[in-house]
Structure 1
Amino acid sequence: MKESDILGLLHHQNLVSLYGRTSRHCKKHMLVYEYISNGTLSKHLHESSSDKLPWQTRLNIAIETATALVFLHDSSVIHRDVKGSNILLDENFTVKVADFGFSRSLPDHVTHVTTIPVGTRAYIDPDYYTSGRVSNKSDVYSFGVVLFELISSIHPSLVAGTDNETLAQFAKRKILNNELNEIVDQSFSCGSDDNILDMISAVAELAFQCVQCPKEFRPSMKQVLETLEGISKGKWGFNQMT
């Protein structure tokens, strides 16, 4: 299913809206989207000219992105390219997930498909990269990388000062060594109240679960969303669902 077909069928407050497309008779096929004025999450996290996003804004971005992914998965669609530059923000910092060029629609009762791996390497599920088998859990992995990005403000490609580690590898190692403070954005680790630090720690634990391999150890996006909503209400810990 093409990007225009997916967005033509699916409508959600946290998905970018498709307004139209050029006629099939035009030489160039172009899609017309709503204008999202505040740019990408990546811009706000990694460009020095951007103001630091406060923690509550980052947590809201995580919740709204997870909400969009739950909607896609409930609609039997795998995004396949979840990353900071595909998370757009409007003037109120409301999330609009974009870029469905790599998305796959799953037939009923099918949990995965085999394809040539596509996406951005630092965000790609290692299981998918090695086997070519993509599933909803591949989006969960990519979203886990986004969570680490929100916590740290570190770009997910190779982390400077490491032995060619991606952000996911670097963050997992630091968490296993009880060194979470070394990946948390310094604007939070200095002067933040204990409630914010507790929330960051809980989100880091959730991100750790999202990037587990093999994929069977990862939560579903519904579990991820419910856990994030619990964290926002002061309830720590991973939300186990049956």
Structure 2
Amino acid sequence: MTFPKHTKRLMTDARKHGVETYRGDLSDLEAFAEVVALTEERKQVALRSKDYFKKLMETYGDQAYLHLAKLNITQKLSQFESQLKEVEEAIQETQPHQKKRLLKLRDQEKSLQRYISEFQGFSAKYPEEVVIAGILSIAYGNVMEMLYAGMNEDFKKCYPQYLLYPKVFEEAYQDGIVWANMGGIEGDLQDGLTKFKSHFNPTIEEFIGEFTIPVSYLYYPAELLYRLRKYLRHKH
């Protein structure tokens, strides 16, 4: 799979944050339902409940793909702190005339300090390991519908979706899936959802949309009578 340069950079950022992706099972539905609920609350939409997701997975079996992104906060925080200590020691050992090396080390120091501050905030609010995003997809034949997705907004700067979507695509392709449908987009191609999906180098298919096809010659007279009756009722 090939992705735009911007997407590859965000995938690298996600790995630096310690994001891990995996295919889940029924035991992971509670965590998935939680991130979906957070998305519902954030976007003011109604999606589905844990029981519905469970029914989908039980009905479709191996054709139901539940993928999750998780973060081990304690482990990654300890790793960042250890790396910061090494960088600080390297700065002390670097001579003043080694300006390029010092500049690089200072940048690493600032980056690690930022990560540590971020993860200390996570550690105060969440358990050691937490699911931060998920996608539930259903395969049929050689195509897949990515039906439901959710993310914990507190971890948006960890960019979990930029590892999660490629994970779904990769495993689907390994199972013989040739088409994964990420869902619809707005018609003007400028909304946030469209911009996000564009990061995965999609193929956009335009459909004709909704329309009415009369199946009986009585449709138009009946429609006229219905509108006339409605008008007369409102008039009186």
Measured against the shorter chain, the TM-score band is under 0.3
Structure (1 or 2) with the greater strand fraction = 2
Structure (1 or 2) with the greater helix fraction = 2
Instruction: Specify which structure has the bigger relative contact order, considering alpha-carbon pairs within 8 angstroms and separated by 6 or more residues.
Output: 2
Q: Which has the larger radius of gyration?
A: 2
TM-score normalised to the size of structure 2?
A: 0.26
TM-score normalised to the size of structure 1?
A: 0.25
